[in-house]
Structure formats: structure tokens, C-alpha cells
Amino acid sequence: MYTVCVEDWFAAAHYLRNYHGKCENPHGHNYRVKVYVSGKDLDKGGMLIDFSVLKKHLKSVLETLDHHDLNSTPYFKEQEPSAENISRYIFDSLKTLLPSGIRMAGVEVFETEKNSVLYREDA
């Protein structure tokens, strides 16, 4: 099994509606995102997926979040825009863009340099 990883960033504002503390107030983060995809078979060029293709897909998903108030975006009107839910949103959005034979292995969202969440589905 091969696993490929690409990384990108986005900036966004949010607040947590059901949290009592500093994060219930509007604030922003520069999020770092790592995406992991897996598969068994390589193409004729010896690649699972071209890095540039995976980066393009990730960028298209992150554009829906970048420089937005996450609480105002359709997905997060009901969901808390926590790092956990952001990672699930990116995972589910990317899953629909992947070619057959390649599966999402995980999405890691860093809210700060030291704090991250990794979302993956159970096999």
C-alpha cells in the first residue's frame, strides 16, 4: 500500500458557539492542512497520483474556506467550525474528487504549529 501526502494552507475566521472560553469570540487562524491518500496500484509513470493533481484538488476545496468566516459558510452554519469538523469537511470534499483506486487515508488540520487533528475513516 502506498500513501501520498500533500500540504497547503488557508486563513479563516471562526468562533465556537458551544464553547465557553476565549474561542467563543470571533478570531482567526492560519490553518495548515496535510492530506493523505492511499492505494495499491501505481500508474505507468510509477505514481499513485501526481502530486500536482492532488494539490489542485486540495486547493479547490480550501478555496471554499480561505479568507471566510467559517460560521457563515453553508457546511458550518449547523456544524461547529472546530478543527475536528474542518478536517472532516476537507476529507469528505476531497473524497469525491479522487480517481478510482485511490482512497482518502486522512486529513490533518493544524490550528496552530503545535495543535492538530487527524481525521480518517475506519477501514
User: Which residues form the domain of 59?
Assistant: 2-119
Q: Could you give the residue numbers annotated as active site? A: 23, 67, 111
Return d(Cα 118, Cα 116) in angstroms, integer: 7
Number of domains in the chain: 1
CA 69 to chain centre: 16
Strands 103-110 and 2-14: unpaired
Return d(Cα 20, Cα 18) in angstroms, integer: 7
pTM (2 decimals)? 0.95
In order along its 123 residues, the chain shows pLDDT tens digits of 999 999 999 999 999 999 999 989 999 999 999 999 999 999 999 999 999 999 999 999 999 999 999 999 999 998 999 999 999 999 999 999 999 999 999 999 999 999 999 999 875
